[in-house]
Structure 1
Amino acid sequence: MKVLIAGGGTGGHLFPGIALAEEVVTRHHKNEVVFVGTERGLEAKVVPQAGFPLEFISVRGLKGKGFLQFLLGLLALPLAFIESIRILQRHKPDVVVGVGGYASGPVVMSAWLLGIPTAIQEQNALPGITNKILGRFVRVVFTAFEDARRFFPEGKVQLVGNPIRRKLMDNYLRSHVAHERFSVLVFGGSLGAKGLNQRVVDALGFLEDLKDQMTFVHQTGKNDLEMVRKGYADKGFQAEVVEFINDMSDAYARADLVVCRAGATTLAELTVCKKPSILVPFPYATDDHQAVNARAMVEAGAALMFREAELTGQKLAEQIRLLKTEPVRLKQMEKKAGLLGRPEASKELADVLVDLMVKVYGPNGRDRPPKPEAAKPSRSE
């Protein structure tokens, strides 16, 4: 089986694709996966590190752009379709899966035009515009939230959850890492989060009496790295502050509490790793989908959620202090997060892809020899 995975841009779109790719290649030594994205997206760095081949297309985003950028994006589309068709003809995939982000659009549509079986994976409760359009054409739509079902044609949706990378699954299977200090993991997604970073730094002044009892691991993104490092140093806190965390499995394993955004992939990781969390949804997310994503976590008692505009450093410090001093409640949140987890999502998604291939190509695959036709009776018979 050869699978082509298209899309990315951010970790929220890309990491489920990586998880699916890991599942596919570990099933059989002849299985292959190739990614298609853009040179500007996170995939340009992460996919080669994960050991998968990557192709690029010249595509730009359209929604939420100024007029000039929108025009440039439109002008780039014909070239993106030509590049997509060439990539598909070169790699000859058995199935194409779009994981969201504007790079997935031309590739999935080109595959549909060429008659290649297609699917999309929607991570959020409220789908993005690319997946809403592609959902009309693809054979299967994989979702992580029941709320997303209403946006796609009836009969196409498979509710499987968000695939989780194999390293994080290792975290799910192993015991909690012991440590002396209460450990808080902070991150705002693969590109960082200025508002979240600032509120955590502001909170430190209200937690100074606990600085000898706490430690932080904080992913800042590129722009706020020095500001956040200075904030911890000025208040005397023990902290590991980095631009990007390469080993999230280890970071989750060490964390007693997570303070983060509410992207769908992040929430899937929190549930599989059984981590209590304070969620601060990205305020400018399309259709406020991060707040919608977080609702199930909050309603289940696995997380607390605060709007960024309403959250002050003092309020955040109060919540961190409260959870630190109530280990029974923290343990209950861990348990409830775990009940929401879908650790088998990658396997279930890959199973459906295999079924799709069998339905389209038959049990022997795309390259099986044609079935011989029955001999036609002669006129004399």
Structure 2
Amino acid sequence: MSISRHFVLAAGGTGGHMIPAHAVAEELMARGHHVALVTDERGAKIPGIFDKAQVHVLPAGRMTKDPRTWPGALKAILAGRAMARRLNETFRPTAVVGFGGYPAMPALLGALADGIPTAIHEQNAVLGRVNRLLAGRVNAIATAYPLVERLKDKYASKVHLIGNPVREEVKALRDEEFPALTDESVFRVLVIGGSQGASILSSVVPDGLGLLPLSLRRRLQVTQQCRAEDIERVRRLYAEQEIPADLATYFNDVPEKLGWSHLVIARAGASTLAELTCAGRPAILVPLPSAMDDHQTANAREMTEAGGARTIPQARFTAVELAKQMQKMAMEPGALQNAAKRARSCGRPDAARDMADLLESIGPAPIVNDPVRTGPTPTTLNLQGVPA
């Protein structure tokens, strides 16, 4: 006789919300539980994740600073809440967890209305807007960092330091040695700027690497993610400086590339930081200044203070500054290896396991195998056309 519980995972439609949710879903399903995802149309279209779970697309209004948008946003939130409650009637979840983003709000509001245990997971070092709105009402708050700004002290009793779940391929890198590096070996640099690359990295990194001493520059092997409109210009710059470079607009094998990299130059998104610290890879971080509440600067703080990264604000991210910081990390004996160890010390590789443990602890008794409750085969259900 199989024993299982049902969990609803609700996440905004970006990779930063969906990837941690997917990792937790995989862990829950490996334990024999059933999982349903609530997201928006963007999240439902992300390939390669939630292939084995029910996927439900609900309306989710976004509350902006413009009061004129509030009536429409509120209407969408209430419609999504009504649909989430209908999902609760059929799927009968033992707990609902939100991973941030406005699409998580209707599912959490529906669970609260139905008396279902709830939790939120915050990927960043600043509590997001939706999580701030609901933090006081949920049963548990999972965080990725020891210090989370905008998280009120009065919630301390229900806060759990979990970390950010990462892919199994990244987790496996934790057991591998830092790639061998001598004064004569190839020095591999990985440049990633989020799912679509970052123009500032394309503008600065090639010139910065070109300023490095010849003894270091001739050993470089660069792998860089670029926006489509930047890629040919960046390719010419590297060719002019005789620096071997592999460029692409998207890499589907980031864990493999991370495995053989000696240094990573990147933004400071939550998923990127989780992978760097889990794998133990030193980095130069350039936080996105327009990120809400400047959360990328906050994300970078722990790894930087530990000595695993150097953070350069975008306003000071110039070719000269990049070259200076790279020389300090790459030309001082043992500096990169030491930074790798310090980065690794910040990693929380068991985040998916710990999050699954937390959800099991707040849910009610297990559900004995019951075909009525296990739901249909995995599918994507767009509920936006269903009347509220």
Q: Normalised by the size of structure 2, how large is the TM-score?
A: 0.84
Indicate the SS of the match to 1:147. coil
Residues 101/226 of structure 1: CA separation in 2 closer, same or farther (3 Å cut): farther
Deviation at 1:173, TM superposition (A): 2.4
Q: Distance in 2 between matches of 1:80 and 1:192?
A: 33
Answer yes or no: is 1:174 the counterpart of 2:176. Answer: yes
Residues 225/98 of structure 1: CA separation in 2 closer, same or farther (3 Å cut): farther
Q: Distance in 2 between matches of 1:222 and 1:353?
A: 41
1:320-331, aligned counterparts within 5 Å?
320-331=326-337
Indicate the SS of the match to 1:15. helix
Percent of aligned positions that are identical: 36
Indicate the SS of the match to 1:251. helix
Unaligned ranges ≥5, structure 2: 371-388
- Do the aligned partners of 1:208 and 1:235 also contact (CA within 8 Å) in 2? no
Tell me which residue corresponds to 1:160.
Answer: 162
In structure 1, what residue type is equivalent to 2:266? C
Indicate the SS of the match to 1:45. coil
Deviation at 1:189, TM superposition (A): 1.9
Deviation at 1:176, TM superposition (A): 4.5
Tell me which residue corresponds to 2:373.
Answer: none
Residues 114/170 of structure 1: CA separation in 2 closer, same or farther (3 Å cut): same
Tell me which residue corresponds to 2:82.
Answer: 82
Q: Distance in 1 between matches of 2:90 and 2:240?
A: 55
In structure 2, what residue type is equivalent to 1:203? G
Tell me which residue corresponds to 1:377.
Answer: none
Deviation at 1:367, TM superposition (A): 8.2
Deviation at 1:123, TM superposition (A): 1.4
- Do the aligned partners of 1:126 and 1:289 also contact (CA within 8 Å) in 2? yes
Tell me which residue corresponds to 2:347.
Answer: 341
Answer yes or no: is 1:202 the counterpart of 2:194. Answer: no
Residues 71/204 of structure 1: CA separation in 2 closer, same or farther (3 Å cut): farther
1:121-132, aligned counterparts within 5 Å?
121-132=121-132
- Superposed CA deviations along residues 300-347 of structure 1, whole A, max 9, x for unmatched, are 111101110111122112222332223401111111111111112221
Tell me which residue corresponds to 1:12.
Answer: 16
In structure 1, what residue type is equivalent to 2:159? V
Q: Distance in 2 between matches of 1:327 and 1:61?
A: 51
Residues 174/51 of structure 1: CA separation in 2 closer, same or farther (3 Å cut): farther
Residues 119/279 of structure 1: CA separation in 2 closer, same or farther (3 Å cut): same
- Superposed CA deviations along residues 222-260 of structure 1, whole A, max 9, x for unmatched, are 554444444434443322222222222112102100111
Tell me which residue corresponds to 2:382.
Answer: none
Q: Distance in 2 between matches of 1:256 and 1:45?
A: 30
Tell me which residue corresponds to 2:278.
Answer: 272
Tell me which residue corresponds to 1:261.
Answer: 267
Q: How many residues align?
A: 360
Residues 96/284 of structure 1: CA separation in 2 closer, same or farther (3 Å cut): same
Q: Distance in 1 between matches of 2:245 and 2:87?
A: 45
Answer yes or no: is 1:183 the counterpart of 2:185. Answer: no
Residues 350/244 of structure 1: CA separation in 2 closer, same or farther (3 Å cut): same
Tell me which residue corresponds to 2:100.
Answer: 100
Select the structure with the greater relative contact order (CA < 8 A; seq sep ≥ 6).
2
Deviation at 1:207, TM superposition (A): 4.0
Tell me which residue corresponds to 1:111.
Answer: 111
Deviation at 1:75, TM superposition (A): 4.1
Tell me which residue corresponds to 2:91.
Answer: 91
Deviation at 1:70, TM superposition (A): 5.6
Residues 208/333 of structure 1: CA separation in 2 closer, same or farther (3 Å cut): closer
- Do the aligned partners of 1:12 and 1:266 also contact (CA within 8 Å) in 2? no
Q: Distance in 2 between matches of 1:218 and 1:70?
A: 41
Answer yes or no: is 1:318 the counterpart of 2:330. Answer: no
Q: Distance in 2 between matches of 1:367 and 1:325?
A: 60
- Do the aligned partners of 1:190 and 1:221 also contact (CA within 8 Å) in 2? no
- Superposed CA deviations along residues 49-86 of structure 1, whole A, max 9, x for unmatched, are 7644422122243336x566666434432332233333
Q: Distance in 2 between matches of 1:297 and 1:225?
A: 30
Ranges of 4+ aligned residues in structure 1 off by more than 6 Å: none
Q: Distance in 2 between matches of 1:33 and 1:6?
A: 11
Q: Distance in 2 between matches of 1:50 and 1:251?
A: 25
Residues 321/299 of structure 1: CA separation in 2 closer, same or farther (3 Å cut): same
- Do the aligned partners of 2:178 and 2:337 also contact (CA within 8 Å) in 1? no
> In terms of mean alpha carbon deviation, does 222-231 or 237-246 score higher?
222-231
> In terms of mean alpha carbon deviation, does 207-216 or 155-164 score higher?
207-216
Tell me which residue corresponds to 1:246.
Answer: 252
Q: Distance in 1 between matches of 2:315 and 2:45?
A: 33
RMSD: 2.6
Tell me which residue corresponds to 1:237.
Answer: 243
